């Protein structure tokens, strides 16, 4: 299995886990709102809302995995990501420093303009 297919499979695995947690919390909230007891099935941690969350996540995964558009699209996107030339650690550190300094300079300039125009407005309006 090449790197792009591994990347897609890793993405789908992570998406299923994220969907499971999200749907479990959603079902727990719905049970709470409508006043239905969230029954413990296998101990306190695995409740009815968790089971519904797992079932919904698996159904959503199977639908997306078998859909004729989404899986090929994900493979194409992963193939393109493999071709990307990522910056080195030194380039990343340098670009981050430049971004922080430019942000500080622009924020300072905007603060000065805000102070000047605020004082001019107070002077004109007599506030």
pLDDT for position 93: 97
72 and 111 share one domain: no
- Whose tokens are 């499971």? That residue is 20
One domain, residues 11 and 67: yes
SS3 28: helix
Q: Are residues 38 and 75 in the same domain?
A: yes
pLDDT tens, N- to C-terminus, the chain (127 residues): 576 777 777 888 888 899 988 998 898 888 888 888 777 777 777 888 888 898 999 898 888 878 888 878 888 888 887 788 889 999 999 999 999 999 999 999 999 999 999 999 999 998 6
Shared domain for 55 and 36, answered yes or no, is yes
Look at the block and give the residue holding tokens 């296998």: 42
Whether 19 and 33 share a structural domain:
yes
Residue 40 sits in which domain range? 1-84
Residues 75, 92 share a domain:
no
- Are 57 and 102 in a shared domain? no
Q: What is the pLDDT of residue 116?
A: 97
CB 47 within 8 A of CB 39: yes
pLDDT attached to residue 119: 94
Residues 19 and 52 both lie in one domain:
yes
For the chain, the domain total comes to 2
- Tell me the CB-side half-sphere exposure of residue 76, using CA atoms within 13 A: 5
Predicted TM-score (pTM) above 0.75: no
Asked if 71 and 64 count as a contact pair (C-beta separation under 8 A), the reply is yes
* Per-residue pLDDT, 92: 97
């Amino acid at each position: 299995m090449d790197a792009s297919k591994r990347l897609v499979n890793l993405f789908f695995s992570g998406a299923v886990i994220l969907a499971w947690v999200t749907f479990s919390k959603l079902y727990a909230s719905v049970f709470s709102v409508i006043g239905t007891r969230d029954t413990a099935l296998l101990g306190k941690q695995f409740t009815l809302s968790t089971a519904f969350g797992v079932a919904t996540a698996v159904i959503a995964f199977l639908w997306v995995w078998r859909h004729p558009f989404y899986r090929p699209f994900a493979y194409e996107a992963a193939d393109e990501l493999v071709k990307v030339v990522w910056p080195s650690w030194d380039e990343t550190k340098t670009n981050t420093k430049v971004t922080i300094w430019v942000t500080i300079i622009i924020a300072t300039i905007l603060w000065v303009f805000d102070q000047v125009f605020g004082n001019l407005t107070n002077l004109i309006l007599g506030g």
